[in-house]
Chain A
Amino acid sequence: MNLSRTARAALWTALGAGLAVIYLPLAVVVVNSFNADRTFGWPPPGLTLDWWGAAWRSTGMREALWTSVQAALGATAIALLLGTMAAFAVQRYAFFGRQTVSLLIVLPIALPGIVTGIALSNTFHSVLGVPLGLFTVIVGHATFCVVTVYNNVLARLRRLGVSIEEASADLGADTFTTFRLVTFPMMRSALLAGGLLSFALSFDEIIVTTFTAGAGVRTLPIWIFENLFRPNQAPVVNVVAAALIVLSVLPIWLAQRITGEASRY
């Protein structure tokens, strides 16, 4: 591209500065996880490993982490299924109301979380009479996670076209075999990317969760929320966040590798 040297330098600077802004608060989080002050007083009056110890010993935190993983896995599984189905329908068929399907899938993420939250909690509670619990959290999360899978799969299908599948059919494979041996492998990376984003969305969601979680269900964000407001305990949440930042690199990196390699299709 014919950008001047100055323009390139300016863009690189913008990227660098942007990343610096992104990481400055995260650095504060990491430093605060060692901050001896109980309410993250700045500058830290001293450093301590106490909070890391407390986080390690906290069974409540481990339970919350496990609840969050379950919720995110459940929501992602549903999102993968529904998102893929919808994407196939919209991309491979012409039908009346095709545009509306897209709109409908985008709607749960486009409407503010508090609206989705109270709408679902009201429905569970007064209309269906379903007691709030982990199940309702999964349903709530899946609703706004479908869109991530849908869009990834849709983009992939658009790029792929149908010729390879037709070739497979011409060579005698039936609908299921074609899907298993041809279509699915080509979509794997798109599913992974969509699934990962969906997992991340669900994992850090708090507003819809607040309204759909039963009184005993504590996801990690809810646990963090509660602990921020418990005296003596607040710094523990910085430990959790710091640990999550470090741990999160792994799945993202793996996914990136797979999608990166697969995108040669």
Chain B
Amino acid sequence: MRRRLATFLHRHAGVRLSLLLSAPMAWLGLAYLGALAALLVTAFWSTDTFTGNLIRTFTWSNFQDLVTGEVYRTVALRSLGVAAAVTLIDLVVAFPMAFAMAKLASPRTQRWLVIAVLTPLWASYLVKAYAWRVLLSSEGILGWGYGLGATILTLSYLWLPYMILPIYAGLERLPNSLLDAAGDLGARPWRTFRTVVWPLTFPAVVAGSIFTFSLSLGDYITVKIVGGSSQLIGNVVYDNIGAANNLPFAAAVATVPVLIMLVYLSAVRRTGALENL
């Protein structure tokens, strides 16, 4: 029986493929996309004031409010700015670190360095954010105070490992001989970096940026802890669903970060970044 099944599978690549694809596609293609679609549909509904039930009648009102409300534009742009700033800071900090790890350290040291970068991921995100609150307090070691700057700094810190790891992996795959060859052909380090290292590690960089960008775009807790009086798009979604329990409007607001990420993903898709996460 098993033998016959094995032979059957061996001969029929199509069946093999369907079997392999069925479960992941059912999960992500049907269930997850379905959930997103259901959320999108909800954004066109409203809620009843008295019963608190959803009113399943089509309306544009949530989107009208979203588009006409100046505050939502401000908050969306602010969130975009924060996500971009965090990604940029992480890139600038992570690249040299990853380069030193991948190309300068001995294999034994490399192993320890990877552990050193991974370890903070296990210390709870909340606890780390609170540690930054302590550091940034006017009485604290840094004493820079709270606000949008503090939020960017804290988020950059929290997501840094997610930028280092893909870049490190990308650089590790880059053969040393390629760099040597560039050098032998007379390229100075900067030129080698610009023409060889950067183009070849770019997908890894983009992969890292997907993490830092999306994690920052959806955050609503860090900004509560160190953000002073500012708010991000995540807070708007959270407040509408949590405090007011207004799922339709929250869903409408949530389409903003989704759109931003979809644009971002489709822009970077060709770089092969999606396979470097």
Chain A residues at the B interface, C-beta cutoff of 8 Å: 1-4, 7-8, 10-12, 14-15, 18-19, 21-26, 28-29, 32, 40-42, 81-83, 85-86, 88-89, 93, 95, 99, 101-115, 118-120, 122-123, 126-127, 142-143, 146-148, 151, 154-155, 169, 174-177, 200, 203-204, 206-207, 220-221, 224-225, 228, 237-238, 240-242, 244-245, 247-249, 252-253, 256-257, 260
Contacts and interface: CB of A to CB of B under 8 A. Distances in A.
A252 B277 contact: no
Given A83-B24, A104-B25, A169-B10, 4 more contacts: A11-B104, A112-B258, A207-B220, A248-B121
Chain B contact residues: over half helix, strand or loop, or mixed? Answer: helix
7 nearest interchain CB pairs?
A112-B218, A248-B122, A174-B6, A14-B96, A2-B183, A241-B127, A15-B100
A112 B163 CA distance: 16
Contact of A42 (B134, B176, B214): B134
Contact of B24 (A85, A175, A256): A85
A249 B119 contact: yes
B217 A206 contact: no
15 contacts: A1-B103, A18-B164, A22-B161, A25-B128, A26-B128, A32-B134, A85-B24, A104-B33, A177-B6, A204-B124, A206-B126, A206-B221, A207-B221, A240-B124, A242-B123
A161 B275 CA distance: 17
B38 A122 contact: yes
Chain A contact residues: over half helix, strand or loop, or mixed? Answer: helix
Contacts of B161: 22
Contacts, number: 284
B214 A143 contact: no
B124 A221 contact: yes
A204 B125 CA distance: 7
A181 B25 CA distance: 27
Contacts of A23: 120
Contacts of A224: 124, 126-127
Contacts of B179: 1-2
Contact of A1 (B125, B176, B251): B176
Contacts of A115: 36, 39, 218, 237, 254, 257-258
Given A109-B210, A112-B218, A123-B35, A175 B9 contact: yes
Contact of A104 (B23, B29, B214): B29
A174 B214 contact: no
A111 B123 CA distance: 23
A22 B101 CA distance: 15
Contact of A28 (B104, B135, B160): B135
A169 B269 CA distance: 36
Given A118-B251, A143-B32, A29 B27 contact: no
A112 B210 CA distance: 10
A80 B125 CA distance: 24
Nearest to B22: A85
A207 B218 contact: yes
B131 interface: yes
A123 B93 CA distance: 39
A114 B123 CA distance: 21
Contacts of A143: 27-28, 31-32
A39 to B, nearest CB: 9
Given A15-B101, A119-B39, A252-B115, A114 B127 contact: no
